[in-house]
Structure 1
Amino acid sequence: MATVRIDQKPQQSDSAVWTLVVVSVATFMLMLDLTVVNVALPDIRNAFDSSFSALQWILDAYALGLAAVLLAAGSLADRIGRKKVFDAGLLIFVLASLACGLAQNDLTLIIARFVQGLGGAVLFAVGPALLGHEFRGKARGMAFGVFGAVAGLAIGFGPLIGGGLADSVGWRWIFLINVPLTIAALVIGFLKMRESRNEFTPPVDWPGMIAFSAGLFFLVLGFMRGQADGWTSVRIIGCFVAAVLLLAGFTFLQISRPSHAMFDLKLFRNDTFNGLFVVTALCALSVMPALFLLISYLQNQLGHAPFASGLRLLPLTLMLFVAAAVGGSLVAKLPPAVLVGGSQLFIAAGLAAVLLVDTGSGWTALIPAFILIGIGMGMFSPGRAAFSIAVTTPDKAGMASGVNETAQQAGLAIGIAAIGAFFQNRVGNSFTNAESARTALGDKVSEVSDAIAAGGGAHVPEPIRAAANTAFVSGLHQAMILASVIAAISGVVAFLTLRKEDLNEAALATPGIPPEADDVTRPLRLPGQVDSQVRTNR
């Protein structure tokens, strides 16, 4: 028989801090592995005599696995237990990281990277739901501020950490470093984290999970490989056709089997849910490809080593960390449109500030851009994570978080493909129109332009190096203008669609209401209800 007790003073769960630690460590590792591998590719190529295509797959396989199962992982966690699914993700991630570090050929590394991405997807989808279960009000803002700052630090410090490890103990340690950290997270999570799941658990929607994951797999694969394989090739068209058919089948399953559905279609009636989904996708589409291009500029055009490039990214990293901490404290105070929309305008301004760079600039010309981008990314991360689960009830937090993370990863994949292709086209157009390049290279001018876009401008012969540098900077400017416009559109979408009344007020404003223990999830207080704490003891 359950007894009910009303406490006058809210208390914060002792497990909350440990949950934040474990989720933060997991988030740092999985975001780090998005960027850390870039700096180790030359060493991997030398170790395995890998082709250019194999090196692309080493990068793509992780992002592909990360994108494919985010929604499925979040929905499954709501049903069978968030801690249980999160721990399974940690186990998959650590085993795959070990396999990456011990790989003896590039095929093994590619497969292990894909599996590592699957584990990372589980962590990324379920982590915000775990935090949302443990924290409320100002404490929730703080928790998501830390969450966003950790993710940003991993992105910013990726080249620095990867370069340091590759230079000192070898490229394998960029993967092996995950092993002790993940084991520690597993032990702490097992001992300190609490379980949470739906009180009324619907059956697991296996057909829906398979259809959606497979559909998203083919969609992301098509965008990732379109530039390399040809957008009109049979393989790429086949990927997009398969994606459309599978996602249409998934939609049919959700409509025809509502009692089993892994995704609540009613969420599409919430303007804030729809707006945040679009903003998250557009933000990833604009800023993440831009960061990859800026890192390429530092390393390949200015000639800085990976570790030195990471040091030069510190203005962005530090501003991101500070802005995420401040943004977390503002989650419950500012309207979501102001916090999220403002963050996108900072990013748009930062991307536009890259136009200050010219062919004779040093790295310091990027400092204004780094500061503005860091502020925008820092503001966005905690708000996005908090609002993505506040659009629904706690029992569906994993699903809502998975949907939002899916938007981010899909936007990332599409952005790298689309903006990368646009950048390559603009570099090629500028270089092939240069008279010195056409005279020196003749029929090989297009081939060399592709190498310049890929970062090989520093290695071209001296007579055409100036044309190569001009082409790279020109392409960088035009790509940043495109990314800035996308970020500005994202800000407009946020201002037009995000509304505080669409959010669960108690999730953001109630100071420190602790969630229920074990498998009982209490609905959050709606506006107008009495602000009291109910604890169920068994």
Structure 2
Amino acid sequence: MTQTISIGGIHEEERASWIPMIAIALGQMIMSFNVASLPVAMGGMVKSFGVPPTTVATGIVAYSMLVAGFVMLGAKLAQRYGALQVFRAAVGLFFISQVMMTFSPTAVVMITAQALCGAAGAVIVPSLVALIAENYTGRQQATAVGALGSARAAAGVLAFIIGGVLGTYIGWRPVFGILIAVSAIVFFLSFRLRRDHGRPDVEIDLVGVILAAAAIILISFGFNNLNRWGLALASPNAPFSFLGLSPAPILIVVGIVLGQAFLMWTHRRQEAGKTPLLALQVIDSPEERAAVYAMFAVVALEAALNFSVPLYIQIVQGRSPIATAVAMMPFNLTVFFAAMLIVHIYDRLTPRQIGRAGFILCTVALLWLAFVVRNDWSEVPVLLGLVVFGIGQGALVTLLFNVLVTASPKELAGDVGSLRGTTNNLAAAVGTAVAGALLVGLLSSIALTGIAASPKLTPELQAQVDLDNINFVSNDRLQTVLADTSASPAEVAEAVRVNTEARLRALKIGLLIMAALALVSIIPAGRLPNYRPGEIPSDETASESGRTA
């Protein structure tokens, strides 16, 4: 059994200095700033590298995939060699990756740089939680955990502001150049953190590392290529096929099977008295598993929305990065304040009540956006929808993390951090990949239907355009492409009309699908702890959770 404490139900301890928390928070912020800057820089990268926007999404997926795949290994490295030592080494690797990112000449180098960022993040993520547990206790520890969630949200806000301004007036590269300097600052500030010496007796389960990494990479890679290789049947772009089937869903299924194999192996290793890659005590109750499922859902929704909005603003509407920043600012500010302030209502509402309310807000917001969105993201009804979604998302991320942290003893802080990192980054990779595949797939289907139904777009014109690789393009780009064909002015106008309508319908349907996911996520939220801090859980609750308070 895992001894637990309820959120906020912690006795007062001697207060420690908050200066070490600056280094911890900045460690979180450099990672979050990096990945949040990619959607803002989408338009600039598309022009610089001459690639479609889905390639930029591959950079996001590469980062999240590496973090999710190796964060459990990072946690064990932190436990064996000391969280502070591996934290410093990872910040150094992050520094190198940002140098590559800033001066990347091609999209391949950009994606490689993001993969290195992910490798660094795989160590930084669990180290942050372990460093909080080492430097803070009691109420300060709960506050520090909330501050970590707020730092993530604050980095998102800054990424959109700084990325928008610099991307519009200078270029996208200086945005990542800033991280070179900040990562150096984090390294020097780390000397204010309390040193831990690690535990040389901690074993590293290499079989578990291989199973977990292979499972997560295959799942992420499969989702990322659903549109390119085919949802079911293999497309001409697929590297291979199995009896005519696309390799993308096959990779996903194999990844899920390997994930189950990892859990079986971990159980077997733990029963044998050996150190597992992930201590299963951190997910040994229904409430903890429900928190993981709910966290995956809300982060995937956030990633999908963070990809969809810049896609439409910069690629579809052809507007500047600063326009993206302005459009997303209400959402990011709301996430920041919701993540920071939600801790103040822990004494009034149970985690189950907050969780259900959060997903209800996300569902309502996405439904609202699906019905009110037009081709102008600055409209007040759209901004209202983003604010409501931000309230639900910000509250949920901090709440669910707190549920996991307070449910486990201090010595398992690294395992909680690795579980959080795996869940968050796998969800971000899947959410981004699915959003890209879903929207492009919807666009292609709707556009082909519109083209076939239009009497103005003749078969002769259609034969001159590559309809097998329909992707998101602005109307100006479409007109440039059609200028090289025999299209008449009337045919160009009709093609622009079909493109505009198809893009908007694809976005609306995509938002409705996201709303359905948010609605279904109320189910795991209903399994969160149902008692307030300081309350003794009822016998029924205790029997459900299998834990003692």
TM-score (norm 2): 0.80
Report the Cα offset of residue 197 of structure 1. Answer: 7.4
Question: Distance in 1 between the 2:374 and 2:391 partners?
Answer: 26
Question: Distance in 2 between the 1:168 and 1:290 partners?
Answer: 25
SS in 2 for 1:177: helix
Residue number among 6, 13, 30 corresponding to 2:16 in the alignment: 13
Query: Paired residue for 2:277?
Result: 262
The 3 A distance-change label for structure 1 pair 483 and 116 is: same
1:225 aligns with 2:235: no
Query: Paired residue for 2:472?
Result: 454
Report the Cα offset of residue 137 of structure 1. Answer: 4.7
Within 5 Å, give how 1:138-157 maps onto structure 2: 138-157=139-158
Query: Paired residue for 2:36?
Result: 35
Within 5 Å, give how 1:35-74 maps onto structure 2: 35-48=36-49, 55=56, 57-74=58-75
Within 5 Å, give how 1:394-405 maps onto structure 2: 394-405=410-421
Unaligned runs of 5+ in 1: 1-7, 507-525, 528-538
Query: Paired residue for 1:163?
Result: 164
Q: Deviations over 1:69-114 (max 9, x none)?
A: 1222223323432222222221111111112223344433322221
Question: Distance in 2 between the 1:215 and 1:139 partners?
Answer: 36
The 3 A distance-change label for structure 1 pair 297 and 56 is: closer
The 3 A distance-change label for structure 1 pair 360 and 121 is: closer
The 3 A distance-change label for structure 1 pair 462 and 498 is: farther
Report the Cα offset of residue 372 of structure 1. Answer: 0.3
Residue number among 374, 379, 383 corresponding to 2:399 in the alignment: 383
Question: Distance in 2 between the 1:458 and 1:138 partners?
Answer: 56
SS in 1 for 2:429: helix
Query: Paired residue for 1:363?
Result: 378
1:481 aligns with 2:482: no
Question: Amino acid of the residue matched to residue 311 of structure 1?
Answer: V
1:348–1:488 Cα contact (<8 Å) kept = yes
Percent sequence identity is 17
The 3 A distance-change label for structure 1 pair 45 and 359 is: closer
The 3 A distance-change label for structure 1 pair 61 and 266 is: closer
Question: Distance in 1 between the 2:228 and 2:312 partners?
Answer: 21
1:149–1:381 Cα contact (<8 Å) kept = no
1:146–1:328 Cα contact (<8 Å) kept = no
1:320–1:377 Cα contact (<8 Å) kept = yes
Question: Distance in 2 between the 1:39 and 1:86 partners?
Answer: 28
Report the Cα offset of residue 307 of structure 1. Answer: 0.7
SS in 2 for 1:412: helix
1:253 aligns with 2:265: yes
Question: Distance in 1 between the 2:139 and 2:455 partners?
Answer: 62
2:157–2:329 Cα contact (<8 Å) kept = yes
The 3 A distance-change label for structure 1 pair 286 and 441 is: farther
Query: Paired residue for 2:173?
Result: 172
Deviates more, 1:148-157 or 1:46-55: 46-55
Report the Cα offset of residue 42 of structure 1. Answer: 4.6
Query: Paired residue for 1:535?
Result: none
SS in 2 for 1:439: coil
2:65–2:220 Cα contact (<8 Å) kept = yes
The 3 A distance-change label for structure 1 pair 338 and 457 is: farther
Report the Cα offset of residue 242 of structure 1. Answer: 5.6
1:185 aligns with 2:192: no
TM-score (norm 1): 0.82
Q: Deviations over 1:23-75 (max 9, x none)?
A: 22122221122231234345445545557786554343222222211222223
2:304–2:431 Cα contact (<8 Å) kept = yes
Query: Paired residue for 2:457?
Result: 440
Query: Paired residue for 2:323?
Result: 308
1:431–1:437 Cα contact (<8 Å) kept = no
Question: Distance in 2 between the 1:136 and 1:308 partners?
Answer: 43
Report the Cα offset of residue 315 of structure 1. Answer: 1.5
Question: Distance in 1 between the 2:102 and 2:464 partners?
Answer: 39
1:432–1:449 Cα contact (<8 Å) kept = no
Within 5 Å, give how 1:464-479 maps onto structure 2: 464-479=495-510
Query: Paired residue for 2:4?
Result: none
SS in 1 for 2:457: helix
Question: Distance in 2 between the 1:410 and 1:197 partners?
Answer: 30
The 3 A distance-change label for structure 1 pair 162 and 75 is: same
Question: Distance in 2 between the 1:76 and 1:314 partners?
Answer: 37
SS in 1 for 2:416: helix
Report the Cα offset of residue 389 of structure 1. Answer: 1.7
Question: Distance in 1 between the 2:45 and 2:312 partners?
Answer: 21
2:223–2:249 Cα contact (<8 Å) kept = no
SS in 1 for 2:204: coil
Q: Deviations over 1:232-290 (max 9, x none)?
A: 54454664466356445533432332212122234443111100111011112223212
1:205 aligns with 2:211: no
Query: Paired residue for 1:325?
Result: 340
Question: Distance in 2 between the 1:19 and 1:455 partners?
Answer: 46
Query: Paired residue for 1:131?
Result: 132
Report the Cα offset of residue 125 of structure 1. Answer: 2.8
Question: Distance in 2 between the 1:394 and 1:361 partners?
Answer: 49
Give the alignment's Cα RMSD to 1 decimal: 3.2
Deviates more, 1:227-236 or 1:193-202: 193-202
Q: May I ask how many residue pairs the two structures share in their alignment?
A: 496
Report the Cα offset of residue 420 of structure 1. Answer: 3.2
Report the Cα offset of residue 375 of structure 1. Answer: 0.8
Question: Distance in 2 between the 1:373 and 1:25 partners?
Answer: 26
Question: Distance in 1 between the 2:496 and 2:52 partners?
Answer: 26
Report the Cα offset of residue 369 of structure 1. Answer: 0.8
Deviates more, 1:45-54 or 1:356-365: 45-54
1:215–1:247 Cα contact (<8 Å) kept = yes
The 3 A distance-change label for structure 1 pair 118 and 149 is: same
Unaligned runs of 5+ in 2: 1-10, 235-239, 242-246, 479-491, 537-547
Report the Cα offset of residue 303 of structure 1. Answer: 4.0
Within 5 Å, give how 1:328-367 maps onto structure 2: 328-331=343-346, 334-359=349-374, 363-364=378-379, 365-367=381-383
Question: Distance in 1 between the 2:25 and 2:282 partners?
Answer: 28
SS in 1 for 2:299: helix
2:67–2:421 Cα contact (<8 Å) kept = no
Question: Amino acid of the residue matched to residue 84 of structure 2?
Answer: K
1:491 aligns with 2:522: yes
Question: Distance in 2 between the 1:19 and 1:333 partners?
Answer: 30
Query: Paired residue for 2:424?
Result: 408
Report the Cα offset of residue 165 of structure 1. Answer: 2.5
Question: Distance in 2 between the 1:335 and 1:343 partners?
Answer: 12
